[in-house]
Amino acid sequence: MSTFKAPKGTYDLKPPTSAVYLAVREAIAAPLKRAGYGYVETPGFEQVELFSRGVGESTDIVTKEMYTLTTRGGDQLALRPEGTASVLRAALEGNLHKDGNLPVKLWYSGSYYRYERPQKGRYRHFSQVGAEAIGAEDPALDAELIILAVDAYKSLGLSNFRLLLNSLGDKECRPVYRAALQDFLRGLELDEDTRRRIEINPLRVLDDKREDVQKQLVGAPLFRDHLCEACKAYHDQVRELLTAAGVEFEDDPKLVRGLDYYTRTTFEFVHDGLGSQSAVGGGGRYDGLSEMIGGPALPSVGWALGVDRTVLALEAEGIALDLPSPTEVYAVPLGDEARKILFGLVTELRRQGVATDFAYGGKGLKNAMKSANRSGARFAVIAGERDLAEGNVQLKDLESGEQKAVALADVVGEVLAKQG
């Protein structure tokens, strides 16, 4: 046992569980690739100001949850708590928006970090797959991203998730709603930190999960009653496109999510089998974020889906993914000459695309065959001195138990034929 353990609130991904995480990431990415989203990868840390400006200085993410550090040169850096600000920064730095082909459509996958109270479904290190469409204001783009997320969840077999939908308005109607909400909140019995939040960003108070706060929010003004005509029309188009695509959703007038950059379309996916930590992903439109971080006006929309949460949702629904075995053929050499010859055969099979493993460490036949069965292989290739003297190996079907001699030169072709 190691002297060291993974830091509190983090986890290691190990086989066989890691195969499920990989399958979930691939399932989420597949619809994005079909829709023209290209892969982007950003550093695990960024300048602190990128997140304080973009995510919002009043958010819990920035004020309580970011891991920050100071370099030897005095730079203030933060481990990335979310992906959107980093991806937008990368797109602006790379001038991807200047080739005239807007929107810039990007997807990403990686680990993110927040200093939270560890609990099931909420870790200090977590995995997400995200997508961003940068540089276009179009309700069809909002609908596209939501549909792609729904299709990803359904491709995994999930059915007990719900889509919550809201609009947070724009720079025209948000100030009116903000003032009405502030007037309401100032009359409540709230602690000093929450009162300060009322003046900085009152929408954050709506996102407060404390029961005593939520009780007082009954009767709070709703954004839908303050939307301007343009935002109403935009939101109606998003809803119509989703309905036409057969996507069910629930209007949630209190949905604001935990980031300051959202405008207009805001959405969240929740799974009722996960208890209090029910959110499995979400996103929305962020038309002003580019300007917040020093870029030009680039209306954009995106989402991030939690890989950890999606795996928990699969478990809650009792779904076991049909994962391919990591090993198709297991080679068992008996003797030094057989080791040399079968090792060459293993290399050839792998080069032909066949997942193949080898009985390392000079195991005897009995132990080697136990390893072959544990590996999940369908076939074992066994060779001893007598077999090789005759130019053969033994090919055993581990499912049926059938075993036959096959000429060494024909083994690759035989395995490939049986695969087909």
β-pairing, 68-70 vs 45-47, is: unpaired
Positive or negative, the CA dihedral 176, 178, 181, 183 is negative
β-sheet bridge partners, residue 68: 78
Tokens of 198: 């009322």
For residue 54, what are the contacts with CB-CB under 8 A and spacing of at least 6?
84, 85, 88, 260, 261, 289, 292, 293
Please state the residue numbers annotated as binding site for L-histidine: 82-84, 114, 128, 132, 257, 261-262
200 token code pair: 């900085």
Range 19-51 burial, b when 16+ CB lie within 10 A, else e = bbeebbbebbbebbeebebeebebeebbebebb
What is the secondary structure of 36-73 as a DSSP string?
Answer: TPEE----SEEEHHHHHHHT-TTSHIIIII--EEE-TT
- What is the rounded CA–CA span in Å between residue 26 and residue 37? 14
Q: Residues annotated as binding site?
A: 82-84, 114, 128, 132, 257, 261-262
Give, in order, the Cα–Cα distances in Å from 221 to each of 92, 99, 213, 244, 409.
37, 43, 15, 30, 78
CA 139 to chain centre: 24
